[in-house]
Amino acid sequence: MHVLTANTKKGDKICLANEYTRATLEYWRRSEEFFCPMCGGRLMIKLGEKRIFHFSHMSAACLESNFEKESAYHLAGKKKLFQWLVRQNIPAAVEQYDPRIRQRPDITFQYENRCYALEFQCSTIPENLFIKRTENYLQANYIPLWILGGSRVPAHIGGTVTLSGFDYLFLQSSSGSPGVIPYFCPELGLFSFIQNPMPCSTAKAFASIKKIPLHQVSLNSLLSPSLSGSLDLNQWQKSLERSKLAIGGNPKSAYKPFLSELYNAGLNVFLLPPEIGLPGYFAPAISTFPVIWQTYIYLDLLAKKEPGSLLSTGEAAAGIYRRVEKGNIGLRRLPLAKEMSVEKAAGEYLEMLAAFGVLAQRGEREFLLQKELAFPKNNAEQSSMAEAFYRKYK
């Protein structure tokens, strides 16, 4: 296991993220003994040409560590992020072990009277371990700040990115900032931000990517990013049609229960109104295709109401949770995005329906059904309705 921080025999702490000369480190390697702050095991200084200078355990493993082995890329990232904080006069420490939670954040620092635990994550770890570490930090009064390795930035094709459930764990949100996933590449000294991902399927999402050199990013802009970008509704419409094909184009579709329920209701996935299958900033909370979970809101709520009836965000969210229990809808775990929730996603969808005249908003969470959705009778009519809808609301 490779680390940047060690204790001397006298108990002094040495951090190689500080710029020590090779001569100084060679002298220490000859004259000093170093020990792991976590397990107490012996460490040696490694002064190779390819890796950054670091300590390495002399035994096979650090018994008190549940952390994965660190690559040169990871070590370089920790070092650069630490030095980036120091240049902003922010008190920071590398690999400071906290015995209360038996964890050692990559970097801990204080900012505006609050304690932060920064993790620079380059490898995939189990979701439950990510959740556990995050919860432990919160219980110890740290604000967790997770950053993905820049080598993991997905390709941006046709306005979309492919995101795994692991990528979504890093989605951060705050009031006024729907969502951003931060990446950092130490080799390029570059931050990349995936901004406002709006899922169009389980894996793909429309998003913008913003790349900023490290020296142009302040800590405050990382904690409260200024988001930008817009959605190309023509691209969304094409994606929606591909989603419908993925759902209903295969007779052995995994979505057969959904298709059967549509059939029993006299509906067809290819003949849905354009108001079903809309993008949303808070939709990452739900992993199922938007066209599916929004159809369920129609079936479970809108279709059961008469024009002039009241309905609420709470009713829509409750319907989604019932569908989750039945296995019809899947949710994502977003531990860093507390603003993302089923309630927010459901409320955002109802607000869009209000903007399109289907509903009328009567309060923060209450709506009046103004008119029933009009369903097309054939493909030509569906195409015409969708074209008119997107042209009107682009």
Kindly indicate the confidence band of residue 44, based on its pLDDT and cuts at 50, 70 and 90.
confident
- Domain identity same for 3 and 85: no
- Domain identity same for 220 and 281: no
- Domain identity same for 136 and 9: no
- pLDDT tens across 239-257, in order? 999 999 999 987 677 899 9
Lowest mean pLDDT among 10-19, 264-273, 294-303, 334-343: 10-19
User: Which has more confidence, 60 or 313?
Assistant: 313
Question: Taking the mean position of all CA atoms in its chain, how far away is CA 359?
Answer: 31
Name the average pLDDT for the chain.
Answer: 88
Kindly indicate the confidence band of residue 70, based on its pLDDT and cuts at 50, 70 and 90.
low
- Domain identity same for 282 and 325: yes
Domain end (from 229, 258, 291):
229
- Domain identity same for 141 and 42: no
- Domain identity same for 53 and 106: no
- Domain identity same for 78 and 188: yes
pTM above 0.85, yes or no: no
- pLDDT tens across 163-191, in order? 999 999 999 986 666 789 999 999 999 99
The count of other CB atoms within 10 Å of the CB of residue 150 is 22
What's at 58, amino acid-wise?
A: M
- Domain identity same for 24 and 120: no
Contact 182, 193 (CB under 8 A): yes
- Domain identity same for 1 and 139: no
- Domain identity same for 371 and 245: yes
- Domain identity same for 40 and 77: no
DSSP per position, 291-313: HHHHHHHHHHTGGG--TT-EEEH
Contact 117, 144 (CB under 8 A): yes
- Domain identity same for 271 and 174: no
Domain end (from 197, 229, 261):
229
Domain end (from 21, 40, 65):
65
Domain span including residue 123: 72-229
Total domains in the chain come to 3
- pLDDT tens across 115-149, in order? 999 999 999 999 999 999 999 999 999 999 999 99
Could you tell me where the beta strands, DSSP code E, fall in the chain? 2-3, 5-8, 13-15, 34-35, 42-46, 54-57, 92-94, 107-111, 114-121, 142-149, 160-162, 172-174, 177-185, 190-199, 204-213, 310-312, 359-361, 366-369
Instruction: Tell me the two tokens of residue 75.
Output: 């070590």
Q: What is the CATH classification number for the domain harbouring 207? A: 3.40.1350.10
Q: What is the pLDDT of residue 29?
A: 73
Mean pLDDT of 204-231: 89
